[in-house]
Amino acid sequence: MIVDCAIYREGHRSEGPRDFSDALDGARAAGGFVWIGLHEPTADEFDLVAREFGLHPLAVEDALKAHQRPKLEVYDDSLFVVLKPVEYEPRSDTVSSGEVMIFLGDSFAVTVRHGEGAPLAAVRQRLEREPELLGEGPTSVLYAVADAVVDHYLDVATELGTDLEELEAEVFTPDGGGSRHTASRIYNFKRQILEFRRATGPLAPPMARLAGVGSYGAGVPFVEDRARPFFRDVHDHLTRVNESVEGLDRLVSDILSAHLAQMSVRQNDDMRKISAWAAMAAIPTMLAGIYGMNFEHMPELRWEWSYPVVIVAMVALEVLVFRLFKRRGWM
C-alpha cells in the first residue's frame, strides 16, 4: 500500500502527482526530491515504483520478501539500506521486530515498511518541521529513519534492563527461584535478547560506513559527506545499544547459571535430608533385625529387661544421630 508521496523543495512539502515519473522529473527540475512511503506493498504496486526509479532487481526482491538482516548495499543508480525496528512488550517479555527498507537515489527516497512497528509518519512529520534538515535532500530521510530506529533501541534496552533486574531479584530472594517456570522464563528472556541482538548487531558496520568511522574512510554514494556527523551520532547511540545488549546477555547467562546452581544446592540439601532420615530409620531396623532372627541361643532373649533396654537403646541412638545431623545442617 502506498502510504504517502510528496515532493520536497528546499525543505518544504508539495503533494506529488500520481505518476511517479512525473514526480521524479518535477523534483529534479526544481532541485528537490520525491519521497514515497509504502507499507507491505504488493508485487504490482512495487513493480511500478521499481520501474520508474530504476531500482535494482535484487534489492526489489529483498524489499518484497522481507526477512532480511540489517545491511547497506550500493547499486549503480541507488543505495539500499535495511533496518530492523523492534518493539518490546513488558507483560509478555516479548521482543518483536519489523523491517524498514530505504532506497536512496539522486532525487528520490523510497521507504518500504513491513510489520506494524515503527510507523514512519512521525519521522516524516518531524522532518517537515525541520526544513533546514529536510533541505539536505534524500540523505535527510535516511538519517531521520535510522536515528528514530536506533533511539527506540535505547528505550527497548532500558525496558529490558528494568525487567531483567526484577527477574534477578526474584531468582536471588531467599524463597525465590524455586518455581518450575523460573528457568523457562530466564531462557525465554535470553531468546528475546537474542532477537534484539539480531536487529542491532548487524547494523553496526552499515552505520560505521555511513559515518565514515574506523576503516570506512571513503564516502557512500547518494549520501552527502556533510551528513557524516549526523550518522556518527547515530553510530555512537548504536554502539551504546550494542554494549547494553552484550551486558544484558552476559547478565542473563549468569542469572541462569546461578539459578541452576541454586537448584543443584537445593537438590543436594534434599538428598542429605533423605539420607539422614534413612540413616535414622536404619538403627531400629538393624536392632529389630538382629533380635528377629529367632536363634535359640541368644543370651538376651530370656532376660526380663531385654525389651525395655532395646527400646531405650533405639531411642538414645536416634536422639544421638538426630543431634549429630542437626549440628551439621542435614536436618
Query: Which residue carries 537448584 as its cell?
Result: 263
In whole angstroms, give the CA distance from residue 165 to residue 7: 48
Rounded-to-integer distance, Cα 331 and Cα 322, Å: 8
- Confidence bin at 253 (pLDDT 50/70/90): confident
Most confident segment among 131-145, 174-188, 317-331: 131-145
pTM: 0.77
pLDDT for residue 197? 92
Q: Which of 7-11, 203-207, 283-287 is the most confident on average? A: 203-207
Residues in the chain: 331
- How confident is the model at residue 16, as a pLDDT? 65
Residue range 96-149, pLDDT digits in tens: 888 999 999 888 899 999 887 656 888 888 888 988 888 888 999 999 999 999
Lowest mean pLDDT segment, chosen from 152-161, 166-175, 201-210, 225-234 = 166-175
Q: Comparing 43-57, 61-75, 170-184, which segment has the lowest mean pLDDT? A: 170-184
pLDDT of residue 164: 87
Q: Where residue 231 falls among pLDDT bands split at 50, 70, 90?
A: very high
d(CA 243, CA 248): 9
Residue range 67-77: mean pLDDT, rounded: 90
The tally of CA atoms less than 13 A away on the side-chain side of residue 12 is 2
User: Which of 31-45, 49-63, 312-326 has the least mean pLDDT?
Assistant: 312-326
Q: Check: CB of residue 232 under 8 Å from CB of residue 213.
A: yes
Name which of 202, 185, 196, 199 is nearest 252 in CA terms. Answer: 185
Q: What is the pLDDT of residue 111?
A: 92
